[in-house]
Copies of this chain bind each other. A is one copy, B any other.
């Protein structure tokens, strides 16, 4: 779960890191009020779950409440890389004497935690790593042992913090690591981590990803989950317990069981010249009701010019899947072809149910490749 900047900063504050004073605004009016309270100079920052907002006009420095209102008004209409700006963060301006980069993330290769530090703050760290690898300090932290003092010293050296602010920076590093562990984060990034003109060490931006699997330990953090808006397809999916739903850009609706199989189906659709409209994994042991809901969800969206249902029955019974498909076709008006491929447990029974339904839009097929071809063909 990726957090918005202001949510990440809420966690920073809770774990003892300094952040600028700020307020979230959902309207231009709220933005001007915030600017009045925090100004004169404030930053107005679009809250979106995607990087690169700066270049897209998502961050502005303004000098009075009227300007804040105007800037917020423009920003709240923006869509940055497909992400509509629904709120902005208005923050008090701070004097900066140095900028560093600091992050902690799960390193899958070593199965440990990795702290990355650099004195090149405020820049794209991947570019820095490419151009100036020696400007990046990497420190692996053993998950059982935790962060040690000698490692904090290495990180401080990497951050290039002036001597007078070393103690404050050490506290920031330790607090960020505590947050990372205690909040079950998979990434915490501060870019830039600044030293203010008063010598304080402060997080000017935040990027935090939390482990979805650990939310049971942090019920108070479930509120950070993306709110995709009332009536959205994601909301409908979540309501039906179809949590592994992902909206994509194409025109072939995809339903399958098992993450690998669904990914493989998406790839096949691509190989035969189509594009998937979504990723939808109904999981293991899906019954007729689940299938019916899933199919209706894809059909209701209206973007799909065809639907591909690809089921390999293990625990899942293909006869129940077929019943679900037929149920959905009876429940809503269907104007696009629904290509269904069933294999594994009770596949014969399932295919019989499909053929007996004799629905004009229903296209039973024998193999994955054939399914992909038929589904893509239908979109042309």
Contacts and interface: CB of A to CB of B under 8 A. Distances in A.
Interface of A: 144-145
Contacts of A145: 144
A141 to B, nearest CB: 13
Contacts of A144: 144-145
The oligomer's copy count stands at 2
A112 to B, nearest CB: 13
A144 B144 CA distance: 6
2 contacts: A144-B144, A144-B145
| Nearest 2 Cβ contacts at the A-B interface | A144-B144, A144-B145
A372 B145 CA distance: 49
A327 to B, nearest CB: 43
A144 B145 CA distance: 6
Nearest to A146: B144
A68 B378 CA distance: 96
A237 B144 CA distance: 42
A111 to B, nearest CB: 15
A113 to B, nearest CB: 15
A145 B144 CA distance: 6
A241 to B, nearest CB: 29
A145 B145 CA distance: 9
A310 B231 CA distance: 89
A145 B142 CA distance: 12
A181 to B, nearest CB: 13
A126 B144 CA distance: 34
